[in-house]
Amino acid sequence: MNVSPLYLRDAARIDPHGGAILRGNFLVERGAGGELHPTAAIPDPAEVLDCHGGLVTRAFAVAHHHIYSALARGMPSPQPPPSNFREILERVWWRLDRALDADVICACAQVTAVDLLKAGATFVIDHHSSPHAAAGSLDLIAQTLDSAGVGHLLCLELSDRDGPAALAAGLHESERFAATRKALIGLHASFTVSDALLAQAVALAKNFNTGVHIHVAEAEADQDETLARHGRRVVHRLADAGALDLPHTLLAHGLHLDASERAAIAASRAWVVQNPESNRHNNVGTFDARGLGERILLGTDGMHSDMLASLRAAYFDGQTTGGLAPQAAWQRLHRVDDYLAQLGVFRDNDLVVLDYDAPTPLTADNLEGHAVYGFGQQHVRHVVAQGRVVVQDREVRTLDEAKVRANARLQAARLWQAM
Ligand SMILES: [Zn+2]
């Protein structure tokens, strides 16, 4: 590892929380908790990233992802095609996750790491599922992401759908991993989780001073089945179990919520993750932020790793659900750092350098308009993670991209065969 200081030459720094654009050279401190400082002179020796006047801002983070789905792209769809959300789960995702093994999981993590880094993201909050290969699966993902320079907050989605043996293995893996690393306790969704499992997950999360990460009301079916079996709506069931009292709890989706559930979330300590493109893909509805409070983050739900695409999709969804200003969309993209700071994860030296050559004047006052209408993955030139250069001139430095993709294609063919 390079231990000489890292300098950004000729950069335009954007504060992710707003404020002036500062032009010049910057020193990037190395390691966890490191910061970024304006500096006049660049000493010798130093590692220097020439930014050619490019925009520097906080690298992105995905607040809800499914690394395990990385090898599904181009996979033949079942015939006849699924006609509703429950069928999509049963006939696509639950068949896929049951066929995963260590080699496929590793290939998924490698290819996602490459995609994240090339899209300017240096942190992923992942929701993993491999019910027949649970043991050690979170370590495999963690080690792969660590060596790539991608920070992570992992969990394994627990449910009762695969029977007691798979659940016991999943609980063991969750507990073992959370004892050694910062992690969340994952649950699939209310409609696949028994009262006993819900209570166990909340107790584990409390024990490890973390939160529960669960899909909430992604489709109406989650509400219908929860009401029929438990006599309450999803959010009230989670609240009664204590899941919303945990400050690190993540509720993915939150689409089919009534006013009382929105009020319960707003009054709680939990965070909601919007996944706009996945919601369109599954035809389950449009995220509506009204009544949920300000603790809203952005994810991709396994669709891709490009948070600038998620930013734009969230902005468009906001136009049909009461309005969302570009400034508010940009804040939603970066609010994940408020969430992570609660967990003691600081990313001031996680940076992305964009070579965005603005076609109109760009200032601190209209930056978010440029972000929503103009910024794209094609502008990601350099990426720094915890003060370490992980992408330079669009090339990933921590993984051999060609080898990763070639191996992923082999593993994908094997996975599709096994399904
Ligand atoms: Zn999800």
At 419 the pLDDT is 87
Q: What share of the chain is helix, strand, coil (3-state, %, to 5)?
A: 40, 20, 40
How remote is the CA of residue 214 from the centroid of ligand 1, in Å?
Answer: 8
Separation of CA 200 and ligand 1 centre (Å): 21
How many whole angstroms separate alpha carbon 309 and alpha carbon 331?
15
Determine whether domain 6-59+348-396 maps to CATH 2.30.40.10: yes
Q: What single DSSP character describes residue 82?
A: P
Using the predicted structure, report yes or no on whether residue 83 has a pLDDT greater than 90: no
At 279, list the tokens: 């919601």
Residues 158-183: tens digit of each pLDDT: 999 999 999 999 999 999 999 999 99
Residues with CB under 5 A from ligand 1 (ion): 301
Q: To the nearest whole percent, how much of the chain has pLDDT over 70?
A: 99
Distance of CA 213 from the midpoint of ligand 1 (Å): 10
CA-CA distance, 270 to 251, in Å (whole number)?
7
Q: How many CB atoms lie within 10 A of CB 152?
A: 27
The domain over range 60-342 is classified in CATH as 3.10.20.30: no
Residue of 20 and 248 predicted with greater confidence? 248
Q: Mind listing the pLDDT tens digit for each residue in 379-394?
A: 999 999 999 999 999 9
Q: What is the mean pLDDT of residues 263-282?
A: 97
Please name which of 101, 79, 99 lies closest in space to residue 91, comparing C-alpha atoms.
79
Does the pLDDT of residue 347 top 90, yes or no?
yes
Question: Average pLDDT in the 111-134 region?
Answer: 97
**What distance in angstroms lies between residue 139's CA and the mean position of ligand 1's atoms?**
20
DSSP SS3 for 291: coil
1, pLDDT greater than 60: no
pLDDT over 90 for what percent of the chain? 89
Size of the chain in residues: 419
Please state the φ and ψ torsions of residue 222, each to the nearest 5 degrees: -60, -45
pTM for this predicted structure: 0.97
Residue 304 alpha carbon to ligand 1 centre in Å: 12
Domain boundaries, the chain: 6-59+348-396, 60-342
What pLDDT was estimated at residue 2?
A: 55
